[in-house]
Chain A
Amino acid sequence: MLKFLFKKLLDLIPTLVGISILSFVLIRLVPGDPVMLMLGERGADPEVYSRMKSELGLDQPMYKQYATFIGNAIQGDLGKSIISKRSVVDEFFSRFPATLELGICSLIFAALLGIPFGILAAVKRNSFYDYFLMGGSLVGYSMPIFWWGLILILFFSVQLGITPVSGRIGIMFEVETVTGFMLIDTLLPQTLNEEGIGPFLSALSHLVLPAIAMGTIPLAVMARMTRSSMLEVLGEDYIRTAKAKGLPIRKIIGIHALRNALIPIVTIIGLMFGSIITGAILTETIFSWPGIGKWLVASINGRDYPVIQGGILFIATMIVIINLLVDLVYAVANPKMRS
């Protein structure tokens, strides 16, 4: 097991180096110069321009800039944002809880609906339900998040007026940031005593639409995965035996089939944490959700190199580590994997 872990950890190194090079080079290929963006027309003064460029270290050759970046990154320093002048690591952690909260809620939403839909489609295979749910999941999977988010806002917020348009909590509430998770912070004794349950409910209502927008693709994936995994399990001998024994169908599906069918689904949920970040970039922009997705978009627009390269490296590292954990869990469950 230790050997397996060691080998997996070694595998990480080239992956992370590759990601760091890509994020470093790609943003520099995007037209637009951060110094020029900051100076606007005034950048035409060559003296001001070159002074600023050297202050930011951007006048160095690219390999030198990369070496400095990696050297600092190994020591846990991802540099300072060009725009806000604050440390990239601090900026990241001040926003990450918001993304995580939204990600978890959207996965819960996806699992709560996706798994039952998948089971229903499998059990009623080739029926109207099956076609309807699988057709629906295809539509859900293909829907651009940007467009879907706006449609949700137009319908639920503007037409029906039952959800807020964007943001994280109603403007009249004053919630102290302790954990960074709004749903938890609003339930901490201090806020609860001062403002009651109102802030919590407001935070919850702000979460609904973005969680649906972000959870729709995972929902579709889960429904399809559950269906195929369920179908596979339903064909197994032990299910046939159980049926022959005359067990009620609810028990067969609920206890015997589901438990086995869920194993791949759990893996998928683990892996989906990675795709949550991609979804967050669009969802957070539409819903003004103050997480890392919105932060990255703003940084790309401002050509904030340290934030982009540092932020992406950070996110990539996390995704890689989550994947590693998923692998490990798998390896624990299935010793064959280790060889």
Chain B
Amino acid sequence: MRKLAILVAICAIATACNKQGPSKKTFVYCSEGSPTAFNPQITSDGTSNNASAHTIYNRLVEFEYGSTKITPALAQSWSISEDKLEYTFNLRKGVKFHTTKYFTPTRELNADDVIFSFDRMRVSTHPYYKVSGGTYEYFNGMDMGNLIKDIVKLSDHSIKIVLNKPEAPFLANMAMSFMSILSKEYADTLIAADTKDKIDNFPIGTGPFSFSSYQKDNIIKYNSFKDHFAGAPKVDRLAFAITPDASVRYQKLKIGECHLVIEPSPADINSMRDNKEISLLEGPGLNVGYLAMNTQKKPFDNLKVRQAINHALNKSAYIDAIYLGHAKAAKNPLPPTIWSYNNSVVDYDYNIEKAKSLLKEAGFANGFETEIWTLPVTRPYNPNGKKMGEMMQADLEKVGIKVKLISYEWPTYLKKSSAGEHAMVQLGWTGDNGDPDNFLYTLLGCSAVEAGSNYARWCNKDFEDLVVKAKRVTDLSERTELYERAQTVFKSQAPWVPIAHSIIFRAMSSKVIGYKIDPLGGDIFKTVDLK
């Protein structure tokens, strides 16, 4: 019994000590997982991006906080040549790198750092190319290796990137995490010490926070970088408390062990809304879930049939039942947070009679039999493909279309639908770079039919001319207009039934100010503060 009493006493003292708060202002973010590395060049997941690209690093250009517009960052200005093949970036002067326990920089950012960072990913003889595996998934995935012909140093503070062909989304690619700028000086000292591996786990960058320490699977600590070129962050320290279980994250938020939590569990949303100490933020995710109709197969080559199906599906019922209300009905193939979203497009309303009469006009007065492939995995844009399939089946039954539901294992599903074996298929997309091209051309362009990402296998000349032209011009207002027109064409031709853009949630303590939901899905803390 005495031992028990001692144990209890120790616990009580420990608790008392535990409560004494930090003297400095520390912002605690409860994240969901561990980063795979601290270098966005070699990682591709959101968790790693939050832990490195948005905290430690900067890029030449960046997305404006809270939107998908491009703003100057390490590059103060840039110019694009007449033929759209040469991008000249003028670097900001006086940008400092982090000083940490393991590295003290002696110089400020210059063109060498930029060239070093990009060449690591594109030049196979580069001393760092093979470090940490040498697979640059995003760099290769965005085809940057083939797009960039050359990178030329013009002066200490300006560089020129020469492209092989004009590509308007190039600037948006430059703002993506994998184009972060590392320190060449640090890399050189690592080569001298024969510890090249450290570059990906002990990072040195120019971002608002410098890396302090990482206890695997437990906690990541950062210090705020007082000399950050855009001004010091408001908090003194930032910590990522890695907490994989969503309900535990919520409990930690409730008792103040963290200030902001990622992805609250849908079951907790209502109780969070009722809690006055917690504010719940929501914003549309950069995604779209859709049902693609194979326009190369009968009867979906018939416009009236496609329009009839658009009228027959009751989207709002799916949003209530499958997304539990946590989604917005989609009418365009791109989400409303992307620039050039055409809000004046009018959606097909849910109207069984109209659907029936369109089918009759198309020569299917008695309907027909077909298949819907239902998504076998949970994706942010569609949490339950099978259930949605059943609801679609019931809706189409009402207009006389008999639907068989089919599903395959995920790799097979993608492979078969890429090859166009389906009649109708559920799919979706999460955007990478906030550029409309990333949705419209990737998912609906003619060359995407062959590439296998255009699941409607829809190749429309009017649409194609607009999106290809928009790829080649760089003037934003001109591109906007072209994309808006492309969305009108898409709507009238109805190759898909766009279904939903799911909503992203973040829950935070009501003490937090200066945080915004980022449409690209990241968590960015450069402006956060605690009341």
Contacts and interface: CB of A to CB of B under 8 A. Distances in A.
Interface of A: 31-33, 35-36, 38-46, 48-49, 52, 55, 83-85, 94-95, 112, 150, 153-154, 157-158, 161-168, 170-172, 174, 177, 197-198, 201-202, 204-205, 208, 285-288, 290-291, 294-295, 297-298
B452 A45 contact: yes
B217 A36 contact: no
B414 interface: yes
A163 B251 CA distance: 12
B382 to A, nearest CB: 12
Contacts of A55: 135
Contact of B255 (A43, A84, A158, A168): A158
Contacts of A285: 244-245
A294 B217 contact: yes
Contacts of B17: 197-198, 201-202, 205
Top 9 A-B pairs, shortest CB-CB distance: A290-B217, A205-B14, A201-B14, A290-B218, A172-B22, A201-B17, A44-B414, A165-B252, A288-B243
- Greatest chain B CB density within 10 A among A52, A158, A167, A294 is at A167
12 contacts: A41-B428, A44-B453, A52-B135, A112-B3, A165-B257, A167-B219, A201-B18, A204-B10, A208-B11, A285-B244, A288-B243, A294-B244
Interface stretch (B26-34, B118-126, B227-235, B278-286): B26-34
B514 interface: no
Contacts of A204: 10-11, 14
A43 B413 CA distance: 11
Contacts of A197: 17
B217 A150 contact: no
Contacts of A208: 11, 14
A41 B429 contact: yes
Contact of B248 (A174, A205, A287): A287
B247 A95 contact: no
Interface residues of B, number: 63
Contacts of B314: none
A49 B33 CA distance: 25
Given A41-B429, A288-B244, 6 more contacts: A48-B141, A94-B216, A163-B15, A208-B14, A288-B242, A295-B217
A149 to B, nearest CB: 9
B44 interface: yes
B4 A112 contact: yes
Given A41-B429, A205-B11, A158 B254 contact: yes
Contacts of A291: 217
A158 B218 contact: no
Given A164-B18, A202-B18, A205-B11, A157 B251 contact: yes
A132 to B, nearest CB: 17
B414 A31 contact: no
B4 A45 contact: no
B49 interface: no
Contact of A172 (B15, B26, B36, B417): B26
A84 B452 contact: no
B25 to A, nearest CB: 12
A161 B18 contact: no
B415 interface: yes
A116 to B, nearest CB: 9
A237 B392 CA distance: 77
Nearest to A196: B17
Given A33-B411, A167-B241, A288 B14 contact: no
B42 to A, nearest CB: 8
A160 to B, nearest CB: 9
B239 interface: yes
Given A44-B418, A85-B132, A172-B26, A290 B452 contact: no
Contacts of B429: 41
Interface in B274-308: none
Contact of A165 (B36, B44, B132, B255): B255
Contacts of A161: 255
A164 B452 CA distance: 50
B37 interface: yes
B267 interface: no
Interface string B242-265: 111101100110110100000000
B22 A33 contact: no
A197 B140 CA distance: 51
A46 B137 CA distance: 15
B255 A171 contact: no
A158 B251 contact: yes
A298 B33 contact: yes
A110 B252 CA distance: 27
A55 B135 CA distance: 10
A304 B154 CA distance: 45
Interface string B366-389: 000000000011000000000000
B450 to A, nearest CB: 11
